[in-house]
Structure 1
Amino acid sequence: MNRRNFVKTTALAGATLSLPLFSIGKPATAASKSLKVGCIGMGRMMYWLSEGFMTRATVVAVCDVDTTRREVAQKRVHDHYGNKDCAAYVDYRELLARDDIDVVCIATPDHWHATITIDAARAGKDIYCEKPLTHDIDESIRVMKEVKKAGVVLQTGSQQRGMKEFRVAVELIRNKVAGNVLDIKSNFWGPGRPYDLGEEELEPGLDWNRWCGPAPLVPYNSKLSPRGVHKHFPAWRQFSDYGGGGVCDMGAHHLDIIQWALDKDDSGPIKALPPVEGGTDWGAKLIYEGGLEVTREDGFHVDFICEHGRIQASRGQFHLQLEGKTIHKFVDREDGSLNRAIALTERDFLEDAKVRLPQQKKGGHQQNFLDAVISRGQPLAHIDAGSRSAICCHLMNLAYREQKAINWKPEKLKFGRGAKKNWLKGSRRDYS
């Protein structure tokens, strides 16, 4: 059953398969298990993603330009199901050409995300793509256009939206429990840098030209594409031609939470500023309408300074202050437990709140996506959210690179005064 027939069949099933728009984390259902998934980019992140999709749907194809990773991934799928039904591809376009594949999961290096996403949308596939969704601002605009035109479901791999410490922080902000937000701090790593690695002997079985793809073709170096099956996150993220440094890595997560808290999934900042002090990459800012600043600064992953208090969250940490006093807190073990701090905050401040966001349960971000595929609703980190959060990262990286103010018009998706022609696109090359 292909995706279109599947959607038609489930629609006729009526209430049996009726799912709420933002249902998160239901265990795998017969409907989601019948979805056939193709996985593209079999690196470290896909190791975990493919495990989830094998459990909640049915993985039928894997794709990677490295022979070793491709064959090992194929064997893992075969071992999981006890069959030999999983196909393996070097060229992702062969995977997309299959009518029986409903969903694609993309976990390639960043410079491939948009190209594969656009091709997948045009092929009618629903898409789960790792963050950042794009590698430059032009790609963000094109991805939004193509995904909406195709009418497919897209989930960005911004899993922090399902983590309770961030969700509750966002709910507190949205309900103005501490009043209006006055200032925001966020802690993540710095910008990408130009590529400067030397040449190594090519890894056997690796299609290096295809790995580089739309990015500049450089001599092979194992820090970009490690040899064999690796258990670490490769260093391509450090280089602006292939990733975006820490700004597009953890920054993509934290800036996404800030966008969510400010209810800006369909908008964004109006300006990006480099650090005031030279010789440091701390202190870069995003400026929102009205002058609200988001500053890259050491501390919590997200730190909202409000009229009547402070709301702070990091992975596994949470701190609510009101009128200078700590109300609920979990920063280390002596504070009790994170679950208790969150539960007490919800009981005391959010029980009757106007804005409540979905709570992650078993199955998490992937099941939320599969539920949306079945219901044809919007997943939590939908196309606008993923594209706009990526634009935040690209604006900050531009400010670092140009060392000047970058003016942006989020409603028009255009730069303001002082823009250069090369700001819209990164260093892409024509590749087919």
Structure 2
Amino acid sequence: MQSSRRTFLLATGMTALASRSAFGANQRLRVGVIGAGGRMKSLLNAAEASGFDFEIVAVSDVYVPNREQVKTRPSAVNATLHNDYREVTDNKNIDAVIIATPDHWHVRVATAALAVGKDVYLEKPVNHTMEEGETLRKAVRSSKRILQCGMQQRSWSQFRDAVALVQSGALGRVPQVRTYWWQNYAVSWVPKPVDLAQLDWKQWLGGAPDQPYDAEKFFRWRWYWSFGGGAMTDLFAHWIDVVHWAMKTDAPSMATMLGDKHVFTNWDCPDTIQAAFRYPGFDVVYEGMMSSSIDDGGLEFRGTEATLKLTRGGMTVWREGLKGAQNPILKEESFRDGTIDHMTNFFQCLESRKEPNAPVEAGVAAANAGHIGNLAYKNGGVWQSKRG
């Protein structure tokens, strides 16, 4: 008979995760919003679902309809609207900022906020280049401010339980972790009409090479090197962060990547990927494509005693040597979006000044693993650490 989650955890000598503490202060948090597109909408939905008392004081976005949309929220009725993010970071009435710009703006905006004493929630990947990662880390640690990276799995219930199981030794030795993510951009992420009179395209480009407006780049910027890093920094970064966390490591020594542009030939980044990464004592593989969404995304920790399969919908554990009704021995479903708990953790840390669930080092390590995969792709398929 399939055992309950509680029974399984007790059988492996583990205890349930500690319950989340309640907020201690009653002061209303004053928030600035920078980058008010689709991802910010989801983040603000999660912030509101957390039950924390906050007010959006100012909103910055280079596209007028985006910033005006935030103004319709009850928490933002008195918010001021801005084209330039510096008018938000420099606002002395703001305690913290939430940043969901395209990747090439992340470190510039975050470091500006940290420099003037703001706490920061920064979407992933936190750094657009490996060099930027060290810049961000130094800015956070020298400022002593809170920075929560947008790696929401670190606050998601089944991911926390899964990491505890891996680290308990319940799976035996884990020589391989398989990761995957399939999406279909022909069905989702379809560009919409843009009123160019309300878009500051030059400001959107920032430090990227000057170029005329392109709707594909504006909406699917993740797939152009000047603005993003494709699947490796957008999708794989989430999963490799879970691997780093569970396996207590943070950098591969070698990477190989086979990537092709079979469908979206106008992109810079490949739409079809097979990649492999060597870590101390185990390997990580990734596969995905952007024109088929069946099976979505997930991870498999394949151990000598058991295999743990993990997605945003839940997790299952399959024991070696068991068949039929005896397997899986554990099944846990996700009860809500982990972004809610991740935002709650951010708010709690603003009060307690404790380290958030996804500190800057974790975010940088996850982004860098994706960058390493891309370096392998650009270097004929192989990347090797200079440290050997």
Instruction: Provide TM-score, normalisation by structure 2.
Output: 0.80
- Alpha-carbon distance, 1:406 to partner: 1.6
**Alpha-carbon distance between aligned partners in 2 of 1:62 and 1:391, rounded to the nearest angstrom:** 29
* Equivalent in 134, 140, 144 of residue 147 of structure 1: 140
Match of 1:41 in 2: 35
- Work out whether 1:296 is the aligned partner of 2:289: no
CA distance in 1, matches of 2:150, 2:261: 34
Q: 1:28 to 1:60 in 2, by over 3 A?
A: farther
1:396 is matched with which residue: 343, 349, 373?
373
* Structure-2 separation of matches of 1:217 and 1:97: 27
Q: Secondary structure at the match of 1:284?
A: strand
Residue identity opposite 1:293 in structure 2 = D
Aligned residue number for residue 113 of structure 1: 106
Q: How far apart, in 2, do the equivalents of 1:360 and 1:24 lie?
A: 17
User: What 5-or-longer segments of structure 2 have no aligned partner?
Assistant: 1-16, 184-192, 263-269, 289-294
Distance 1:416 1:217, change over 3 A: farther
Q: Tell me the distance in 2 between the aligned counterparts of 1:58 and 1:338.
A: 33
- State the number of aligned residues: 341
Q: Give the C-alpha shift of residue 268 in structure 1.
A: 1.7
| 1:217 counterpart = 2:210 | yes
- Where structure 1 has 5 or more consecutive residues not aligned to the other structure, the ranges are 1-21, 191-199, 226-233, 331-336, 343-358, 409-414, 418-432
User: How far apart, in 2, do the equivalents of 1:177 and 1:289 lie?
Assistant: 20
Report SS of the residue matched to 2:198: coil
* Residue identity matched to 1:155: Q
Asked if residue 307 in structure 1 is aligned to residue 307 in structure 2, the reply is no
Describe the shift of the 1:70–1:368 C-alpha distance in structure 2 as closer, same or farther (beyond 3 A): same
Equivalent residue number for residue 8 of structure 2? none
Which amino acid is 1:407 matched to?
Answer: Q
* Residue 81 (structure 2) pairs with residue 101 (structure 1): no
Distance 1:30 1:201, change over 3 A: closer
Instruction: Please give the alpha-carbon distance, in whole angstroms, between the structure 2 residues aligned to 1:399 and 1:28.
Output: 45
Q: Quick check: 1:369 aligned with 2:343? A: no
Alignment of 1:31-430 (within 5 A): 31=26, 33-53=27-47, 56=52, 57-74=54-71, 76-77=72-73, 80-81=74-75, 84-188=77-181, 203-225=196-218, 234-264=219-249, 267-275=250-258, 281-290=272-281, 292-297=282-287, 301-325=298-322, 326-328=327-329, 330=331, 338=333, 363-408=340-385, 415-416=386-387
Measure the CA separation in 2 of the matches of 1:24 and 1:110: 34
The one-letter code sitting in structure 2 at the alignment partner of 1:338 is E
C-alpha deviation, 1:217, in angstroms: 2.2
SS in 2 for 1:118: helix
Alpha-carbon RMSD across the aligned residues, in angstroms, is 3.0
CA contact (8 A) 1:284 1:296 kept: yes
Aligned-pair distance for 1:239?
Answer: 1.7
Counterparts of 1:259 and 1:175 in 2: how far apart (Å)? 15
Asked if the contact 2:232–2:373 (Cα under 8 Å) also holds between the matched residues in 1, the reply is: yes
Question: Residue by residue, what CA displacement relative to the aligned partner does 1:307-341 show, whole Å, maximum 9, x if unpaired?
Answer: 212111112142211223323355xxxxxx726xx
CA distance in 2, matches of 1:221, 1:181: 45
CA distance in 1, matches of 2:364, 2:320: 36
- Give the AA of the match of 1:323: E
Change (3 A) 1:361 1:49: closer
Distance 2:206 2:19 in 1: 35
Aligned residue number for residue 7 of structure 1: none
Cα distance, 1:128–1:276 mapped onto 2, change above 3 Å? closer
Aligned counterparts of 1:382 and 1:323: Cα–Cα separation in 2: 35
Give the SS at the match of 1:135: coil
Question: What CA deviation, in whole Å up to 9, does each residue of 1:215-250 have, x standing for no partner?
Answer: 22221022333xxxxxxxx31112222111122112
Q: Distance in 1 between matches of 2:141 and 2:367?
A: 17
Pair 1:173–1:90, CA change in 2 (3 A): same
**C-alpha distance in structure 1 between counterparts of 2:352 and 2:18, whole Å:** 10
State the AA in 1 paired with 2:230: G
In structure 2, give the amino acid aligned to 1:62: V
Structure 2 vs 1, CA of residues 293 and 242 (structure 1 numbering), >3 Å: closer, same or farther? same
Question: What is the CA–CA distance in structure 2 between the aligned matches of 1:246 and 1:201, rounded to whole Å?
Answer: 25
Letter in 1 for 2:103: D
Read off the aligned partner of 1:399 and give its amino acid letter.
A
Taking structure 1 as reference, are residues 209 and 361 closer, same or farther at Cα in structure 2, changes over 3 Å only?
A: closer
- Aligned-partner residue type, residue 235 of structure 2: M
Please state how far the C-alpha of 1:174 moved relative to its aligned partner: 0.8
Higher strand share: 2
Aligned to 1:19: none
How much has 1:25 moved relative to structure 2?
5.8
Q: Distance in 1 between matches of 2:337 and 2:174?
A: 26
**Aligned amino acid, residue 246 of structure 1:** A
Change in 2 beyond 3 A, CA 1:249/1:278: closer
The one-character-per-residue Cα deviations of 1:11-44 (angstroms, maximum 9, x if unpaired) are xxxxxxxxxxx9886666644x522110000101
Asked if the contact 2:151–2:358 (Cα under 8 Å) also holds between the matched residues in 1, the reply is: yes
SS of corresponding position for 2:329: strand
* Percent sequence identity over aligned pairs: 30
**Aligned equivalents of 1:160 and 1:244: distance in 2?**
20
